[in-house]
Each structure stands twice: as structure tokens, then as C-alpha cells.
A = this chain, B = another copy of it.
């Protein structure tokens, strides 16, 4: 992954609305959610949500599919996985066990849900 791609993703997750929207979509998985349901769940003005969903879409973190007059959004879990891999790349220079020396870091994998 390129630095520019990663910073664009982090920027897209740096707003509370966008992070909450993305986490909602992660939980929904392949089912996704239509824009109106996301707006209702977050209690956010439609125009504001649209602004934030566009930012997430532009960063590639969510995809959109039209369904009649609804727009269904889905989290891009593959990109999320790539991002995590990028962030943790060559952690502790790849020296086995060195990460475990750092308090709590060992719990990294255990806490992952997918």
C-alpha cells in the first residue's frame, strides 16, 4: 500500500461521524446499510452524512450500490485488512518475541475479530 492511500484512509476515519458510520458497516458485513438507515442510526443530517460517506467512498473504505432510489453502502473489509497489514509491517524489525516484550502488544492478534 502506498503512503498516500493510507493517509487518505486515516483521514477518512478521523471524524467521529465517519468512524461511527464505518464501524456500523463493519458490523453489518456483506449486508451493508442504506444511507437513510445510517443517518437514522447516527442521528445526522442527510446532507452531512452524504458529505462523510463520500469521503469514505473516495478513500475506498466503503462501496456504494444503487437499489432503486436507495443507496446501499458496504465496508471494504479487504482494504481494512490491507491497512492493518501496512500499519504493522515489519513490526519490531520482524524479530520474533520482541513485540511480546512490549506490554500488551502480544494481545494484538487475539483481539482481532475477523
List chain A positions with a Cβ less than 8 A from chain B. Answer: 3-4, 6-7, 10-11, 13-16, 19-20, 23, 26-30, 77-78, 80-82, 84-85, 87-95, 98-99, 101-109, 111-114
As for how many copies of this chain the complex holds, the number is 2
A2 CB, min distance to chain B CBs, angstroms: 10
Which residues from B are CB-within-8-Å of A81?
Answer: 104-105, 107-108, 111
A9 CB, min distance to chain B CBs, angstroms: 9
Beta-carbon contact of B99 and A29 below 8 Å: yes
Which residues from B are CB-within-8-Å of A29?
Answer: 91-93, 95, 98-99, 102
Beta-carbon contact of A113 and B90 below 8 Å: yes
In the complex, A34 Cα to B19 Cα: how many Å?
A: 32
Which residues from B are CB-within-8-Å of A23?
Answer: 87, 89
Which residues from B are CB-within-8-Å of A87?
Answer: 13, 23, 26, 80, 84
A29 CB, min distance to chain B CBs, angstroms: 3
Beta-carbon contact of B20 and A91 below 8 Å: no
Beta-carbon contact of B85 and A114 below 8 Å: no
